[in-house]
Amino acid sequence: MPRDVPPNSLGLPKAPADTRVVVAMSGGVDSSVVAAMLAEEGYDVVGVTLQLYDHGAALAKKGACCAGRDIHDARRVAETMGFPHYVLDYENTFREAVIEEFADAYLAGATPVPCIRCNERVKFKDLLNTARELDADCMATGHYIQRKMGAAGPELHCAADANRDQSYFLFSTTPEQLDYLRFPLGHLKSKAETRALAAKYGLPVADKPDSQDICFVPNGNYASVIEKLRPGAADPGQIVDMDGTPLGEHRGVIHYTIGQRKGLGIGGLAEPLYVVRLDPDTRRVIVGPKEALSTRTVPVREVNWLGDEPLSSRPEWEVAVKVRSTRPPRPAIIRPLSDTEAEVELFTPEDGVSAGQACVFYAPDSSRVLGGGWIWRGR
């Protein structure tokens, strides 16, 4: 009888040398440290970088996660640590699964979050399948989130460093994916620890700045990208108040977001006005007072539930929710309409809740992520 092998650092009952790990490498410091750390521990590491859009256009752009320079940096890390590295062309998949929907959502007056769709439809779906085809035992990423074993199996938890936590962007990770994924950086207390590890391993990206932009949106200019994808999307229209009274002209609905106050070009009024609704069909931007932004009821669909019991097994759940990545979780109640749709009631109204954003669920007084859904009906 073979002797039982204790679990390795990835929780698998194998020696590291017998454990193949595909590491999703963006070329940044986080995923590079994950690959280097696992290689040093003796794992059979395979680095994979996705080319998600036009390589030539990418080379001239800095500050994005998938640029040509980043592919080069990922390759250099693999050479430094001595493990194989592959670049996969996912351009068509990325355009169809992420970019096209991003443009359509903006044209419909929503405020999409393409990084979540990329994780859901590309990295944790197609790339994860590729990892399985490579006979990998698991796939590791540089995301700041934690995977912990609970009574009912793997659970998703916030990162130890609240300032780096990426749980909002990973709410759609399914239980099956979570079983296969690993997040070796989630327990670190600060980004400084990550950079110290990069320096320790002698990685060429140790001092590389963090990416800020969405990878296919140069300098955060969403409107210019949408205009290229959807000619005519920036047609002008009217800015009106909540009664429909015209107050001015705008330069295209795609230039505005819910809660926006600056740049409306309608000064000289008695009180400050905010964008409270976008109506693409009539090309109207509707503005109103700040109190008109307050929302207590948030409808969500495409719910991904990570609780131990089915979402619809109870009439309601007390949770904490985030309606934007930059806001802390707030107390709320989820009332399921089915296993994939629900109505969320916020204890305290939130301003600027917008269709297209995610509403992410957390267990009360806990770091556990219970899933989330897509806000589908704004004001």
Active site residues: 118, 215
The strands making up 246-250's β-sheet, listed across from edge to edge, are: 246-250, 237-240, 284-288, 274-279
Distance, C-alpha 6 to centroid of its chain: 34
What type of residue sits at position 16? P
How far apart CA 366 and CA 12 sit, in angstroms, is 26
Q: H-type helices in 82-190, by residue range?
A: 91-94, 100-107, 114-118, 128-133, 175-180
What type of residue sits at position 343? E
Q: H-type helices in the chain, by residue range?
A: 29-40, 55-59, 68-81, 91-94, 100-107, 114-118, 128-133, 175-180, 191-200, 222-229
Q: Do you know the residue count of the chain?
A: 379
96-123 as b/e, with b when 16 or more CB fall inside 10 Å? ebbbebbbebbbebbbbbbbbbbbbbbb
Q: What are phi and psi of 168, to 5 degrees?
A: -60, -35
Q: In this structure, what DSSP letter does residue 156 have?
A: E
Task: Give which of 307, 312, 300, 290 is closest to 242, Cα–Cα.
Answer: 290
Helix axes 100-107, 222-229, angle to 10 degrees: 100
How far apart CA 138 and CA 239 sit, in angstroms, is 52
Q: What are phi and psi of 91, to 5 degrees?
A: -55, -50
Contacts of residue 196, defined as CB under 8 A and 6 or more positions apart, other chains included, come to: none
Contacts of residue 348, defined as CB under 8 A and 6 or more positions apart, other chains included, come to: 330, 331
Residue 327's SS3 state is coil
